[in-house]
């Protein structure tokens, strides 16, 4: 097992208040496919997929219903077989309204004829299959995987595949459970990604509070794949932190992992790539952690397009004291106003919060410097926030607010309960608006 170095800053968030946490012992439960699914055509970075179906069409499980459009996009597939009953706007977890396809499930799970395995794929066909099967980053960013595998035009060429198994966001354990239940599938996906890119070395980073997952992956690892136990610290899974921890290389501000000669994938993405190649299976479901104040917390394998209402029904429903529901983890997730929202490809968790979900009242900054010590990007959160509160976005940009990754570490440690992360998010949005005119 390899050694690693840790990044400066970071925090160690506590466990979930009085709610029910989900841990690696919670085996994956297959959620029954719902009566209908609403599948957004935009659930990835880049251009929305172009709709290929219309109301009244009969579709098969795994059939392409949206084709990738443009250089950065991803195909979208039917997650059930049945009849298309609507094509129109739907609200996703980010709050955006996007075009979606609603399919009424016939419960036949009739696979499409396009779902066939590929025997002995060459390097070029692996990236093509990733594109055809709609594989995207499943750690949150949802960047199209095929684009990451196309490295031939990069100079210098990447020489290291970095695989994220850290799952550092509190309460989320879907990746942890996947590493325990499907380590061979993950390793196969890693090897396929190495073949597609021509990279001969891969390092999988897993936090050392998941040593059972480290051991499972080590038992399956081969052919240049190394598993590294990383110190359990948030935000270890952010790609810049992960690259530094596993390679000692630094990605410059504003730069991509390719600047450090790395390609970064998530363990769930690697597993999906393996299924796409070996079985011809597109990305039609994913594992979601449901935790907090619900009757039956756990890790559920859910069809893409199932609503949160369906998912919560499977998890036994919300408890009476719930005050807020968050999609994602508590540090970087989004609070949502409605449960009529579909599960998408980058949807890792659903947390029901009670009193711990209520934002405390802010007080004046006491200049303690805790936010500065916690910031993994080496920024000055207190000074940036002061500029922003005085409508001085230009100076906030000058001292680095655009380099903020919105991890929430500064907000978490602030004794004055200042909403620092929200302040920086707002400043970046205002700067984008200014530059778009």
The pLDDT value recorded for residue 138 is 93
pLDDT (tens digit per residue) in 139-156:
878 999 999 999 888 888
Residue 330 and residue 169 in contact, taking contact as beta carbons nearer than 8 Å = yes
Q: What distance in Å separates the CA atoms of residue 376 and residue 393, rounded to the nearest whole number?
A: 22
Q: What distance in Å separates the CA atoms of residue 172 and residue 21, rounded to the nearest whole number?
A: 9
Report the DSSP beta bridge partners of residue 351. Answer: 291, 326
The pLDDT value recorded for residue 355 is 81
Backbone angles phi and psi of 38, in degrees to 5: -120, 110
Q: What distance in Å separates the CA atoms of residue 156 and residue 170, rounded to the nearest whole number?
A: 36
Backbone angles phi and psi of 138, in degrees to 5: -105, 10
Residue 2 pLDDT level (bands cut at 50, 70, 90): low
Cα–Cα distance list, 425 to 7, 408, 410, 429 (Å): 23, 11, 13, 6
Half-sphere CA count of 242, side-chain side, radius 13 A = 30
pLDDT (tens digit per residue) in 317-332:
999 999 999 999 889 8
Residue 88's CB is within 10 A of a number of other CB atoms, namely 11
Question: Which stretches within 291-419 are classed as H helix?
Answer: 308-314, 370-374, 381-389, 393-398, 409-413
**Burial group, residue 99, by CB count within 10 angstroms (0-12, 13-18, 19+):** middle
Residue 16 pLDDT level (bands cut at 50, 70, 90): low
pLDDT (tens digit per residue) in 181-215:
999 999 999 999 999 999 999 999 999 999 999 99
pLDDT (tens digit per residue) in 221-244:
998 999 999 999 999 999 999 999
pLDDT (tens digit per residue) in 110-133:
999 999 999 899 999 999 999 999
Half-sphere CA count of 116, side-chain side, radius 13 A = 5
SS3 391: coil
What is the mean predicted confidence (pLDDT) over 146-175? 92
Q: Which residue ranges form the domains of the chain, and what is each CATH number?
A: 123-278 (3.40.50.11540), 370-436 (no CATH)
Residue listed under structure tokens 């299976």: 281
Residue 14 pLDDT level (bands cut at 50, 70, 90): confident
pLDDT (tens digit per residue) in 40-59:
999 999 999 999 999 999 99
Q: What distance in Å separates the CA atoms of residue 399 and residue 372, rounded to the nearest whole number?
A: 13
Name the pairing type of β-strands 82-91 and 58-59: antiparallel
DSSP 49: P
Residues whose CB is less than 8 angstroms from the CB of residue 165 and which lie 6 or more positions away in sequence, other chains included: 175, 179, 186, 204, 205, 206, 210, 213, 217, 266, 267
Residues whose CB is less than 8 angstroms from the CB of residue 156 and which lie 6 or more positions away in sequence, other chains included: 261
Q: What distance in Å separates the CA atoms of residue 383 and residue 53, rounded to the nearest whole number?
A: 52
């Amino acid at each position: 097992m390899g050694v690693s170095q840790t990044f400066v800053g970071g925090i160690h968030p506590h466990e979930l208040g009085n709610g029910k946490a989900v841990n690696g012992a919670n085996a994956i439960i297959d959620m029954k496919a719902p009566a209908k699914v609403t599948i957004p055509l935009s659930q990835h970075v880049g251009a929305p997929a172009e709709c290929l179906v219309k109301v009244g069409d009969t579709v098969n499980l795994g059939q392409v219903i949206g084709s990738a459009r443009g250089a950065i996009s991803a195909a979208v597939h039917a997650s059930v077989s049945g009849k298309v009953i609507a094509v129109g706007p739907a609200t996703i977890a980010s709050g955006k309204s996007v075009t979606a396809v609603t399919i009424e499930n016939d419960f036949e799970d009739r696979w499409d004829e396009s779902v066939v395995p590929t025997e002995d794929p060459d390097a070029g066909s692996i990236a093509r299959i990733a594109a055809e099967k709609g594989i995207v980053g499943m750690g949150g960013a949802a960047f199209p995987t095929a684009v990451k595998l196309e490295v031939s035009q990069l100079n210098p060429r990447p020489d290291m595949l970095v695989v994220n198994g850290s799952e550092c966001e509190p309460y989320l354990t879907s990746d942890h459970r996947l590493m325990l239940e499907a380590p061979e599938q993950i390793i196969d996906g890693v090897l396929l990604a190495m073949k597609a890119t021509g990279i001969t070395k891969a390092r999988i980073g897993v936090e050392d509070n998941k040593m059972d997952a480290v051991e499972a992956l080590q038992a399956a690892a081969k052919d240049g794949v190394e598993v590294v136990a990383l110190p359990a610290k948030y935000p270890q899974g952010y790609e810049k932190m992960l690259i530094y921890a596993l390679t000692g290389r630094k990605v410059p501000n504003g730069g991509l992992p390719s600047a450090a000669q790395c390609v970064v994938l998530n363990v769930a993405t690697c597993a999906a790539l393996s299924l796409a190649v070996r079985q011809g299976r597109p990305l039609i479901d994913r594992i979601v952690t449901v935790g907090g104040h619900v009757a039956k917390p756990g890790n559920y394998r859910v069809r893409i397009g199932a609503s949160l209402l369906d998912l919560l029904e499977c998890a036994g429903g919300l408890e009476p004291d719930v005050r807020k529901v968050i999609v994602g983890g508590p540090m970087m997730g989004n609070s949502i106003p409605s449960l009529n929202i579909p599960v998408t490809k980058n949807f890792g968790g659903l947390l029901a919060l009670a009193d711990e979900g209520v934002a405390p009242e802010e007080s004046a900054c006491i200049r303690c410097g805790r936010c500065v010590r916690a910031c993994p990007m080496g920024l000055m959160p207190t000074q940036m926030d002061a500029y922003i509160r005085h409508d001085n976005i230009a100076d906030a940009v000058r001292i680095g607010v655009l380099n903020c990754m919105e991890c929430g570490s500064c907000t978490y440690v602030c004794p004055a309960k200042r909403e620092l992360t929200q302040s920086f998010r707002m400043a970046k949005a205002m700067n984008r608006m200014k530059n778009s005119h």
